[in-house]
A and B are shown apart, each in its own frame.
Chain A
Amino acid sequence: MKVKNRTSDSQSNSALLARVREKLLDFITANGLLVALILFVLFVAVIKPSILKWSSLEGIIRQSTDVAVVAFPLALLVIAGSVDLSLGSVASFSAIIMAKTALVYGFPIGVITGLSVAVGIGLLNGLLVGYLKLHPVVTTLGGLTLWRGAALLLTNAKTIGMGAVPGWILDYGIGLNTLLSMPLHLYILSISYLVCWALAHKHRFGERLYAVGGQEKAAFLVGINTKLVKLLAHTLTGFGAGLAGFMMFFRSGAVHGSDGDGLEFRALTIVLLGGISFQGGKGKMRGVLVALFFITFLRYSLVLLRTPLYLQHMASGVLIILALFMDSLLTQRAEKRGSGS
């Protein structure tokens, strides 16, 4: 309980200073990534101004859509206290199914089938994790191998799908054609962000996600069906993976079983960097959006700056560890000052 005391002038001055410092730290921790992004963009722009050209930015957007479409639902899943490490493989598998079916039954049916398969896999994961209470990490690690193997098996590691995507759609995919002078990818990215954002922050499902992830026992005690919440979150990520598969397909008109390799780790890095705590129950979607641009921009500039491949690769790993550090620091700070009672 706060008790108001009379303070002398000098005391109130130092108190003021302390308050300013607190507010500054607050701002940095809440928006640190945004600040970092802006600084980074400026830094790279100085070295290689060509990065600010529209064609580069447009390319960045097109490339980041498949990770985005997976990262946003993954954020919801992590908020609910679970995780899915098989998303890249599921995306690939779903894309393969899409392509194979499309070659026989036409593009629309192909897409629907592929998406359904991805949703089905998400549902399966949801059952295993939510209802059978299996450990999400190990279970989805199994999925990672399984679906990747299945994708490669079905195609014998060959690229397939040529000709399955109708020409006019492909034009949108490769960026030849635009809608209102923006690539279609941007719309897809925005819509998936808005949907996930709305689900998390405006829909009652979001309240339940945060409750289940933050304090599962308490959520259970207020009558929330925690199993169902997890099931739905997993199914949604499945759909996201399917959508990513669609993006990979429609972006190049063909798919290979090894597409989307590492997608899940990139998405997880984005989610963690975006301030979504791995423990669950914490984090805002807008952080994930900023993190998405940050990571994509980082990748792109590393390529542009001709950094060696291995450094690029390692950057992800370092980023995940940094994200965890940040998260644990924030938790400690919150614990120190939050406890009233």
Chain B
Amino acid sequence: MNKEKSGRIRGTRIWELLLDNLVLLGLVFIIIFFSFKNPFFFSYSNARSILRQLVPIGIYSFPVALLLISNSIDLSLGAVVGLSAVVGIEAMNAFGFAFGIFAFLGVGLAAGLLNGVLVSYFRLNPVIITLGTQIIFRGLSLSVSGGRSGVPPALFLKIFRLELFGFRLEVFFMLGIMILSYWVLHRNRLGRYLYAAGENERAAFLMGVKVQNLRFLMHTLVGLAGGIVGIISVAKVGLSSGSLGQNLTLPVIIAILLGGIDFGGGAGKITSVIVGVFFIGILEAGLLILGVTEFLQQVIVGAVLILAVCTSALRKGRLIKR
């Protein structure tokens, strides 16, 4: 009996080790795979373009991860980006640079506020609500843009395409957000409150944690992040359009899921989210380099999301029948 037990324990330990680092292994795998297919992949210049692809996802992933930890979610991510971009550029062209920047951020903030109020104070289901607000935001951006693309002023492109040590400002910004999120979650009591709110809302509330306010704050921050991503996306593409950010929501969710953060709230680390972000970023970049059609990309992204959910469930031990 004892022998059987220890054998099984050793087996489970290897299995657990594998699972914990599955994403990291996967990351290494796809890097090798893509480099094989195209030696250009593993080059410095390519790393820069990968980063460019990755930054919007990265900037969004961290605040959204915090949101998920506190047991809420936002599916209107891409739509907020589109809306802030459209409104921001219109405002910028009409009223000047500073105003435009305020518009970008303001729209994002307002969107986050709306989601936050509906989810936290009216206690409505975040999944459906943000699906609803997503439709609203998308509709609004189509209306404001009138279907046309807006062109940012030259100053805008000049500033936001500035490079430092060969990397655009946005990369440093992402680093900043990454460090800030890490600090909030792991080094600040706010992070502990987030974990508490996500894991055991009632206990946290009884201990004086203002759970609803916390969630509201997180939603607002996610919205603000959306405004920032809007700026970056416009800088990247060179125009603003109502359909900007369309392919952003899912990769962010994937990055977070792969990063070990689950829908039930109360679990996950920033470091694993970083791995998740790199995974999806490199995957998308690699597919781009391989010349894979946009459609096949969609198929792969969808499949990866489903696999990510599976690994998330595996990690929680649900698939392991004891």
Q: Which residues of A contact B (CB under 8 A)?
A: 85, 128, 132-135, 137-139, 141-150, 152-153, 156-157, 257, 265, 268, 272, 278, 308-314, 316-321, 324-325, 328
**How far apart sit A132 and B125, CA to CA, in the bound complex (Å)?**
23
A153:B299 contact, CB within 8 angstroms? yes
Q: A142-B309, A149-B302 in contact; A311/B128 too (CB < 8 A)?
A: no
The distance in angstroms between the C-alpha atoms of A308 and B302, with both chains bound, is 33
Residues of chain B contacted by A132 (CB below 8 angstroms): 310, 313, 318-319
Mark B183-199 against chain A: 1 for CB-CB distance below 8 A, else 0: 00000000000000000
User: 28 A-B Cβ contacts within 8 A?
Assistant: A128-B309, A128-B310, A132-B310, A134-B309, A139-B305, A139-B309, A142-B305, A146-B298, A146-B305, A148-B298, A149-B295, A149-B296, A149-B299, A149-B301, A152-B298, A153-B298, A272-B128, A278-B125, A310-B140, A312-B139, A316-B135, A317-B137, A318-B132, A321-B132, A321-B133, A324-B125, A324-B132, A325-B124
Q: How far is the CA of A316 from the CA of B125 in the complex (A)?
A: 17
- Whether A146 contacts B306 by the Cβ 8 Å rule is yes
Q: Which of A138, A143, A314 contacts B263 (CB 8 A)?
A: A138
- Residues of chain A with a CB closer than 8 A to B10's CB: none
List, in ascending order, chain B residues with CB within 8 A of A153's CB: 293, 295-296, 298-299
Contacts of A138 in B (CB 8 A): 253, 257, 263, 305, 309
With a cutoff of 8 Å between Cβ atoms, the chain A residues found around residue B143 in the complex are 308-311, 314
Tell me the bound Cα distance from A60 to B295 in angstroms. 32
CB distance from B227 to the nearest CB of A (A): 20
- Which residues of chain B have C-beta atoms less than 8 A from A316's C-beta? 132, 135
- CB-CB under 8 A from B134, the residues of chain A are 317
Contacting residues, chain B, for A149 (C-beta < 8 A) = 295-302
Complex Cα distance, B117 from A325, in Å, reads: 13
Scoring B129, B135, B299 by chain A CB atoms within 10 A of each residue's CB, the highest score goes to B135
Whether the Cβ atoms of B132 and A144 lie closer than 8 Å is no
A127 smallest CB distance to B (angstroms): 11
Question: Contact at A145–B298, with CB atoms within 8 Å?
Answer: yes
- Give the secondary structure class of A's interface: helix
A135 and B301 CA atoms in complex are apart in Å by 17
Nearest CB of A to B7, in Å: 26
Residues of A within 8 A of B124 (CB): 321, 324-325, 328
What residues on B are CB-neighbors of A85 within 8 Å? 131
> How close is B153's CB to chain A, nearest CB, in angstroms?
25
B209 within 8 A of A: no
| Residues of the B chain whose Cβ atoms lie less than 8 Å from the Cβ of A312 | 139
CA distance A139 to B124 in the complex (A): 21
Chain B residues contacting A150 (CB-CB under 8 Å) are: 295, 298-299
- Asked if B138 and A313 make an inter-chain contact with CB atoms under 8 angstroms apart, the answer reads yes
Chain B residues touching A, majority SS: helix
Residues of A within 8 A of B310 (CB): 128, 132, 134
Chain B residues closer than 8 Å to A308, beta-carbon distance? 143
When the two chains form their complex, are residues A317 and B309 in contact, meaning their CB atoms are under 8 A apart?
Answer: no
> In the bound complex, what is the Cα–Cα distance between A139 and B253 (angstroms)?
11
- In whole Å, how far is A172's beta carbon from the nearest beta carbon of chain B? 32
- From B129, B293, B306, residue with most partner A Cβ within 10 Å: B306
Interface of B toward A, CB cutoff 8 Å: 75, 118, 122-125, 127-129, 131-140, 142-143, 250, 253, 257, 263, 293-306, 308-310, 313, 318-319
Residue of B nearest to A277 (CB): B125
> Which A residues are in CB contact (< 8 Å) with B123?
328
- Tell me which of B122, B140, B250, B304 contacts A314 (CB under 8 A): B140
Q: Which residues of A contact B135 (CB under 8 A)?
A: 265, 313-314, 316-317, 320
A257 surroundings in chain B (CB, below 8 A):
295
Known: A134-B310, A148-B302, A313-B138. 5 other contacts (CB 8 A): A138-B253, A149-B299, A310-B139, A320-B129, A320-B131
Contact of B309 among A135, A144, A152, A272 (CB under 8 A): A135
**In the assembly, what is the distance between CA of A319 and CA of B296, in Å?**
33
Chain B residues, CB < 8 A from A317:
132-137, 139
Give the CA-CA distance A311 to B139 in the complex, in Å.
7
- The residues of A that contact B257 with a CB separation of less than 8 Å are 138
Chain B residue with minimal CB distance to A319?
Answer: B132
CB distance from A126 to the nearest CB of B (A): 14
Q: Is the CB of B136 within 8 A of A141?
A: no
Question: What separation, in Å, do the CA atoms of A143 and B303 have in the docked complex?
Answer: 7
Task: Give the residue of A135, A142, A320, A328 whose beta carbon is less than 8 angstroms from that of B302.
Answer: A142
Contact A318 B136 (CB under 8 A): yes
- A145 engages B118 (CB within 8 Å): no
> A144 and B302 in contact (CB under 8 A), knowing A134-B313, A278-B128, A314-B136?
yes
Nearest to B297 among chain A residues (CB) is A149
Cα A37 to Cα B302 in complex, Å, equals 38
> Do A309 and B132 form a contact, CB below 8 Å, given A146-B303, A153-B293, A153-B295?
no
A102 nearest CB across to chain B (Å): 22
Residues of A within 8 A of B125 (CB): 278, 324
